């Protein structure tokens, strides 16, 4: 008999009265499940079901008390049942479920659990999920998390400490920083060539402006027009946005940067540029974003070392 004086029944689909086993959570919630389903994904439970169990307080169905909370047990069992998908209340709850998955040797659902956790939390917990993915050997999820972490400015400074950093190897942390830096270098280089402008280059006032400001800008090699001098305000924009991309190599920075508005403000003060610069810069920024995304996508996270696999830290 359980030590609980009062228990409750879990919600659907774990309230089936035709069940052949009851799993009772640490907080006294009874999950009515079927041995066939649970034993199919868990060798621990399969072995456990072969031993005599106490009967339920209200029926002849055997009861097994477990140490997991009802929140963890509910998500764990949803992973085991076909056509059910758990939603985790927090990343901490999700990690508790992963601990239970490993405890009960439910390796058949481990990959599914990882997929669901990454989809739900990668946008808000990229570094922690990177560490978790490295720990489990989920290299495709490590890449996804590392790509999301490109939104973090100056990754690698002391302020970049994050939950889970103690659980990964120095090599895994190094390859995250190297990936971030290499993406930054690639993103910054986009503004140093402008070869991606295509036909837009023919209409850019930045090439054609005859103001004195133009003489102070650098010489660029334009694929459409050949060597061209840039006006200073546009050169300043490319340098400034390039440095921002180096620190935070993601396309979204081009939509958020104050340097864009600053450049346009300077340009409209020029009698030659003011008539076309707003439309031209808008088109240029769209192309710039697309090119940054393209070159960053070509950079890949370095593969993990075969002889330095991490121990699963949530077990």
Quote the pTM value: 0.82
Q: Choose one of 93, 121, 149: the last residue of a domain.
A: 121
For residue 147, tell me if it sits in a domain. Answer: no
Q: What is the mean pLDDT of residues 76-90?
A: 92
Assess whether 101 and 199 both reside in one domain.
no
Q: Using the 3D structure, point to which of 80, 100, 121 is the last residue of a domain.
A: 121
pLDDT of residue 220: 61
Count the domains in the chain.
2
pLDDT tops 70 at residue 315: no
Q: What is the mean pLDDT of residues 163-168?
A: 86
Average pLDDT over residues 228-240: 85
Instruction: Tell me what percent of the chain is helix, strand and coil, each rounded to the nearest 5.
Output: 55, 10, 35
Q: Is the pLDDT of residue 308 over 50?
A: no
C-alpha 65/C-alpha 54 separation (Å) is 9
Mean pLDDT (the chain) is 87
Angle at 162 between CA 252 and CA 253, to 5 degrees: 10
pLDDT digits (tens, 9 = 90+) for 179-195: 999 999 999 999 988 88
- Establish if 160 belongs to a structural domain: no
Average pLDDT over residues 97-126: 95
Choice between 259 and 54, residue whose per-residue pLDDT is larger: 259
- Number of Cβ within a 10 Å radius of residue 165: 15
More confident: 315 or 288? 288
Q: Is residue 99 part of a domain?
A: yes
- Per-residue pLDDT, averaged over 291-301, amounts to 96
Of the candidates 7, 11, 8, 9, the one whose C-alpha atom is nearest the C-alpha of residue 84 is 11
8-9 vs 54-55, strand pairing mode? unpaired
* Residues 112 and 192 occupy one common structural domain: no
Whether residue 233 lies inside any domain: the answer is yes
The predicted structure's pLDDT at residue 210: 64
Kindly state the percentage of the chain with pLDDT values over 90: 63
**Structural domain ending residue among the three candidates 88, 121, 154:** 121
Under the banding of pLDDT at 50, 70 and 90, the label for residue 145 is very high
Please state the separation of Cα 21 from the chain's center in Å: 38
Q: Is residue 161 included in any domain, yes or no?
A: no
> Which range is least confidently modeled, 62-71, 137-146, 298-307?
298-307
Residue 304 inside a domain? The answer is: no
Question: Is the separation of the CB atoms in 142 and 122 below 8 Å?
Answer: no
Which regions of the chain does DSSP assign to beta strands (E)?
Answer: 8-9, 21-24, 29-33, 54-55, 62-65, 219-222, 226-229
For residue 123, give both structure tokens. Answer: 């946008």
Q: Determine the Cα–Cα distance for residues 151 and 146; give it in Å rounded to an integer.
A: 10
- Structural domain boundaries enclosing 259: 186-297
Give the pLDDT band of residue 233 (cuts 50, 70, 90). confident
**Mean pLDDT over residues 225-253, rounded?**
87
> pLDDT for 39-79, tens place per residue?
999 999 999 988 776 665 556 889 999 999 999 999 999 99
Residues 313 and 165: their CA atoms lie apart, in Å, by 11
Mean pLDDT of the 126-138 span: 95
What pLDDT, on the 0 to 100 scale, is given for residue 304?
A: 84
Q: With bands split at pLDDT 50, 70 and 90, how would you rate the model's confidence at 217?
A: low
pLDDT band at 309 (very low <50, low <70, confident <90, very high): very low
Instruction: Please report where in the chains the tokens 């270098």 appear, as a residue.
Output: 185
Residue 63 lies in a domain: yes
pLDDT at 214: 52
Q: What does DSSP say about strands 8-9 and 29-33: parallel, antiparallel, or unpaired?
A: parallel
Between CA 35 and CA 87 the distance in angstroms is 24
Instruction: Supply the pLDDT for residue 52.
Output: 72
Query: Same structural domain for residues 30 and 112?
Result: yes
Mean pLDDT of 92-103: 96
Residue 163 located in a structural domain: no
């Amino acid at each position: 008999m359980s030590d609980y004086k009062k228990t409750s029944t879990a919600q659907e689909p774990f309230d089936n009265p035709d069940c052949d086993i009851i799993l009772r959570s640490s907080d006294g919630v009874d999950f009515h499940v079927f041995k066939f389903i649970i034993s199919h994904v868990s060798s621990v439970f399969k072995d456990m079901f072969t031993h005599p169990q106490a009967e339920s307080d209200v029926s002849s169905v055997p009861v097994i008390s477990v140490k997991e909370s009802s929140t963890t047990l509910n998500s764990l069992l949803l992973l085991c049942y076909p056509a059910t998908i758990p939603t985790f209340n927090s990343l901490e709850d999700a990690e508790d479920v992963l601990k239970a998955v490993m405890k009960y040797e439910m390796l058949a659902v481990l990959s599914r659990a990882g997929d669901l956790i990454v989809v739900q939390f990668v946008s808000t917990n990229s570094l922690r999920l990177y560490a978790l993915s490295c720990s489990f050997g989920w290299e495709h999820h490590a890449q996804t998390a590392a790509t999301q972490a490109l939104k973090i400015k100056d990754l690698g400074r002391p302020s970049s400490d994050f939950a889970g950093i103690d659980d990964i190897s120095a090599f895994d942390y190094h390859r995250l920083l190297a990936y971030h830096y290499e993406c930054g270098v690639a993103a910054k280089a986009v503004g140093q060539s402008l070869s991606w402008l295509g036909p837009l280059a023919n209409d850019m006032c930045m090439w054609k402006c005859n103001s004195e400001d133009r003489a102070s800008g650098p010489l660029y090699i334009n694929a459409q027009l050949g060597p061209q001098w840039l006006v200073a305000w546009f050169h300043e924009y490319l340098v400034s946005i390039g440095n921002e991309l180096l620190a935070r190599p993601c396309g979204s920075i081009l939509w958020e940067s104050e340097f864009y508005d600053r450049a346009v403000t300077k340009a409209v003060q020029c009698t030659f540029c003011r008539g076309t610069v707003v439309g031209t810069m808008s088109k240029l920024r769209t192309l710039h974003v697309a090119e940054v995304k393209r070159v960053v996508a070509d950079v890949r996270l370095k593969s993990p070392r075969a002889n330095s696999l991490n121990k699963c830290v949530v077990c």
